[in-house]
Chain A
Amino acid sequence: DQQVKQNSPSLSVQEGRISILNCDYTNSMFDYFLWYKKYPAEGPTFLISISSIKDKNEDGRFTVFLNKSAKHLSLHIVPSQPGDSAVYFCAASLPNTGNQFYFGTGTSLTVIP
Chain B
Amino acid sequence: GAGVSQSPSNKVTEKGKDVELRCDPISGHTALYWYRQSLGQGLEFLIYFQGNSAPDKSGLPSDRFSAERTGGSVSTLTIQRTQQEDSAVYLCASRHGTDGEQYFGPGTRLTVT
Contact = CB atoms under 8 A, between A and B. Distances in A.
Contacts of A41: 106
Interface string A26-52: 000000001010000111111001000
Chain B contact residues (Cβ within 8 angstroms of A): what range?
A: 20 to 34
A98 B48 contact: yes
Interface in A81-98: 89, 91, 97-98
B69 interface: no
Given A99-B50, A100-B56, A43 B4 contact: yes
B42 interface: yes
Interface of B: 4, 31, 33, 35, 40-45, 48, 50, 56, 58-59, 91, 93, 95, 97-99, 101-107
Given A43-B104, A44-B91, A105-B40, 8 more contacts: A34-B101, A44-B104, A97-B98, A98-B95, A99-B56, A100-B48, A102-B45, A103-B43
Interface of A: 2, 4, 6, 34, 36, 41-46, 49, 89, 91, 97-106
